[in-house]
A = this chain, B = another copy of it.
Amino acid sequence: MTNLMQATADAIAKAQEARLAIRNGLAIPTAGMAKGMTQANMISLPRDWAFDFLLYAQRNPKSCPILDVCGSGSYRTVLAKDADLRTDIPLYHVWENGKLVDEITDATEIWAQHPDLVTFLIGCSFTFETPMLEAGIEIRHITDNCNVPMYKTNRLCRPAERLEGELVVSMRPIPADRVADAVMISGRFPSVHGAPVHIGSPDALGIKDIMSPDFGSPVRIEEDEIPVFWACGVTPQAAVMRSGVPFALSHAPGHMFITDVPDAAYHV
């Protein structure tokens, strides 16, 4: 029941190489790295908050699709056997009482200080960027070599126990005549956010200035392009902020965990 689709040895080698570079200090956004391999968001919470978060994820599956949960204190995952979650993410955010207190490239000390962390790896929309590229749809933040723009919205997630927060979305400008294709292609990947949650009309999501994202970088939107919004795995961080969670560790937006699982594993 739990056998994950095996990637080719070559593809796994590429993922391992990327993780090794990251472990050795490479601290850049991961979009476009190890193409074809699934990337994941991370959020780690004290054991006491694990049920709250797992329920939050279950109630908001479009923004928080869980790919793996690493039990109390474990920094190992079935998604990449030789990976170490303490070092293999380019940039981490440290949260205290809902506030961002530190940005680090190595979380080994954090794990030592908080031995009961439960870690959630969550699907990332980077996963369907490869099939979109293959279909001839330009991904602007890859072309321009910057981070994807992400926005807090006015849509609240369904709360769970002590957790509440806004839906966070990522945005990709898509030519009007390819929007339907982008919907169909991403829709085939429901475990990694799936189809968009909103197409056009940023106002209706409460986004005042599309060129000032809450996370990541702004990107050009050409005249014939529509901003298309997908649910984003930064949504858990918004919940940590709004709910004042005493302690949390997360990836920095756009700086993902690269797994050994091929994108195809999440294709329905």
Given A50-B51, A51-B54, A66-B58, does the pair A71, B2 have CB atoms closer than 8 Å? no
Interface residues of A in 86-113 (CB under 8 A from B): none
Taking CB atoms, residues of chain B closer than 8 Å to A66 are 58
How far does the Cβ of A47 sit from chain B's closest Cβ, in whole Å?
Answer: 9
**In the complex the two chains form, is A1's CB within 8 Å of B197's CB?**
yes
How far does the Cβ of A254 sit from chain B's closest Cβ, in whole Å?
Answer: 22
Residue in B2, B167, B194 whose CB lies within 8 Å of A1: B167
Q: List the one stretch of A154-162, A209-217, A221-229 in contact with chain B.
A: A154-162
Given A1-B155, A158-B2, A187-B268, does the pair A59, B55 have CB atoms closer than 8 Å? no
Cα-based distance from A150 to B2 in the complex (angstroms): 20
A190 at the interface (CB under 8 A from B): yes
Taking CB atoms, residues of chain B closer than 8 Å to A71 are 55, 160-161
CB-defined interface of A245-266 with B at 8 Å, one 1/0 digit per residue?
Answer: 0000000000000000000000
A22 at the interface (CB under 8 A from B): no
Cα-based distance from A71 to B160 in the complex (angstroms): 8
Given A51-B54, A54-B51, A69-B55, does the pair A2, B268 have CB atoms closer than 8 Å? no
A170 at the interface (CB under 8 A from B): no
Cα-based distance from A227 to B167 in the complex (angstroms): 43
Cα-based distance from A197 to B2 in the complex (angstroms): 11
A39 at the interface (CB under 8 A from B): no
A63 at the interface (CB under 8 A from B): yes
Cα-based distance from A231 to B161 in the complex (angstroms): 30
**In the complex the two chains form, is B60's CB within 8 Å of A2's CB?**
yes
How far does the Cβ of A128 sit from chain B's closest Cβ, in whole Å?
Answer: 13
Residue in B2, B58, B155, B158 whose CB lies within 8 Å of A59: B2
Residue in B1, B158, B190 whose CB lies within 8 Å of A231: B1
Given A157-B1, A161-B71, A268-B187, does the pair A54, B59 have CB atoms closer than 8 Å? no
How far does the Cβ of A94 sit from chain B's closest Cβ, in whole Å?
Answer: 24
A152 at the interface (CB under 8 A from B): no
Q: A54-B58, A55-B69 are in contact. List 14 more A-B contacts (CB 8 A).
A: A1-B60, A1-B62, A1-B63, A2-B60, A50-B51, A51-B51, A51-B54, A58-B58, A58-B66, A59-B69, A71-B160, A71-B161, A187-B268, A188-B268
Q: Could you show 17 A-B contacts with beta carbons less than 8 Å apart? A: A1-B62, A1-B155, A1-B156, A1-B158, A1-B167, A1-B231, A2-B60, A2-B157, A2-B158, A55-B71, A58-B58, A58-B66, A59-B69, A71-B160, A190-B190, A190-B268, A194-B268
